[in-house]
Amino acid sequence: MLKKIAVLLIIVVICSVLSCNRDKTGDGSNNQYLIKIKHRHQDSRLYNPADIIQFKGKYVATEVIKNRLAIFDDFSFSDIKHFDPKTIGKEFNGPHFLAISPGGTLLISDGWGSGIIEIEELDGKGWTYFSGIDRHFNAPHGICVDKDGWIYVGDSLNSRLVRFKNMDGDGWQVFEDKEKKIGYIREMVFYDNAVWITNSYEKIPGINIGEGANILKIDNFESGITKEIIAIRDTNLTGLILHKDTVIFGAWSGSYSLLSGSVMDGTYKEVADSTLGFGIPYGIFCLPDGNDCAVAYLGSVKRSDTKKNRGGIVIFSIKKHIN
């Protein structure tokens, strides 16, 4: 009898260990929220959207290959217009992420260039280009604004995070990154009094590879310390949003996918995969109604890949998950 009890105890211990390991490596069994795809849109007038935001009553998406902005009233996409900066003698170099400045202007990261752009109107009025203070930005991607008016930029190929107060660079500061975790930043958001970052693993000469792909949280910029919330090694991460204790984020490696992760324990699971057929999930934006979100699917950045080159926009809602 004692031997049987001992065997049962061993089995229980082994099962507990396996269950714990499964959660740690990412099956996401503890996640409380999942997403429900509501609408998928692909249109010949919308090419390679990288991010989406609402600005002055319009929805605006960056088109990273066409080097322009797509502008539309709602997600019926009945009337898509474009702003091409060449019409005012300017140009984009791979516009990526978007944010609203403290002054209510639109900020655009020139993701394959060396600066960020500010415009006051969607016809390009007020165009201002800012390249940094101590040295030029190199492929700036993520951009966000906090409650105190600081503008944060992920200076991706310089492997650093910077912040400043306006397009003159007032108050310029470089995050110290004491643990050297920052590699290649993509989307950033300000949520719950902290800056959240999708930090990617990139085998590019000259940049810090950090500790592989992860989601980082910085709640004290001046401390130089990051908190690793979720870790997924040897891949690239793209967009992210936060909803209560859940983070929804994109992955760009192998099977392109959207994932849902727990801020509490670091587990994660796939919630929408490449069967969407739109290629790479990139920037994510929560709509003003608070119930739905939009993902800009980048498609393929290979110009020869005509099947998936266009990308599209997907609308989803965040739903309570019951185990």
Is residue 26 scored above 70 in pLDDT? no
Q: What is the reported pLDDT for 206?
A: 79
Confidence category of residue 8, pLDDT binned at 50, 70, 90: very low
The whole-number average pLDDT for the span 92-111 is: 97
Confidence category of residue 255, pLDDT binned at 50, 70, 90: low
Residue 201: name the closest of 226, 179, 183 by CA. Answer: 183
Q: CA 222 from chain center: how many Å?
A: 23
The whole-number average pLDDT for the span 18-22 is: 30
Q: What is the rounded distance in angstroms from the CA atom of residue 149 to the CA atom of residue 147?
A: 6
The residue that leads in pLDDT, 19 or 190, is 190
Amino acid at 59: Y
pLDDT in tens, 235-251: 889 999 998 889 999 99
Q: How far is CA 192 from CA 21, 113, 196, 221, 288, in A?
A: 29, 31, 9, 14, 18
Q: What is the rounded distance in angstroms from the CA atom of residue 185 to the CA atom of residue 178?
A: 16
With 0.95 as the threshold, say if the pTM is over it: no
- Provide the token pair at 245: 């204790």
Confidence category of residue 18, pLDDT binned at 50, 70, 90: very low
Domain chopping of the chain, boundaries? 1-30, 32-320
CATH numeric code, 32-320: 2.120.10.30
Residues in the chain: 323
Amino acid at 169: G
The whole-number average pLDDT for the span 131-154 is: 97
pLDDT in tens, 30-79: 556 778 888 889 888 999 999 999 999 999 999 999 999 999 999 888 89
